[in-house]
Amino acid sequence: MSSPRDISPVFVEGLDISAYGIARSVGRHGVPVYALNDKLRDPLRYSKYVRECFVYPDDPSQPRAYAGDSVANEDVLCRLMLEWSGRFAHKPVLFATSDWFARFLSNRQAELKDRFLFHWAPPALFTTIVDKGSMVRFC
């Protein structure tokens, strides 16, 4: 196995059961895992596999950077993630555990692709996949 300095870190969005499964799956193999979360949703924040939790600030003067399953402030979130990625020698790998974060990756792929590794779909295709009416029309 590569030394820890040669492994891209993993950024897992959220700390729900899906995120915990990802953290356990890769963390037990020595992959550095970092959680992206806010202070309101952190039941698994203290997993032994999570090295650090990057917390989105909650600024009452603007839409929340992290909004759980609802719409987030993509501008703030993108800026924070680009800032956090600068701490690592290798591009962090992003794992989305919610539809809103997957949509964020789709919408912001141009800004994020040079600093992160992640899978994405074009915004129109993503909307077709997650919107039941669009999916029915597509099929």
> What would the pLDDT profile of 94-118 be if each residue is shown by its tens digit?
998 887 888 889 899 999 999 999 9
Place of tokens 């993993």: 10
Task: Evaluate if residue 9 carries a pLDDT over 60.
Answer: yes
- Of the options 3.40.50.2300, 3.40.50.20, 3.40.1160.10, 3.40.50.300, the CATH number for the domain spanning 4-138: 3.40.50.20
What is the pLDDT of the chain when averaged over all its residues?
Answer: 80
> What would the pLDDT profile of 55-88 be if each residue is shown by its tens digit?
776 655 555 555 544 556 788 889 989 999 999 9
Interior angle at CA 93, CA 90 and CA 97, nearest 5: 160
50-55 contacts at long range (C-beta below 8 A, 24 or more positions apart): 50/12, 50/15, 50/23, 51/9, 53/15, 54/11, 54/80, 54/84
DSSP 3-state of 70: coil
Among 36-40, 49-53, 90-94, 122-126, the range with the most confident prediction by mean pLDDT is 90-94
Q: Look at residue 32 in the predicted model and tell me its pLDDT.
A: 94
CA distance 7 to 32: 8
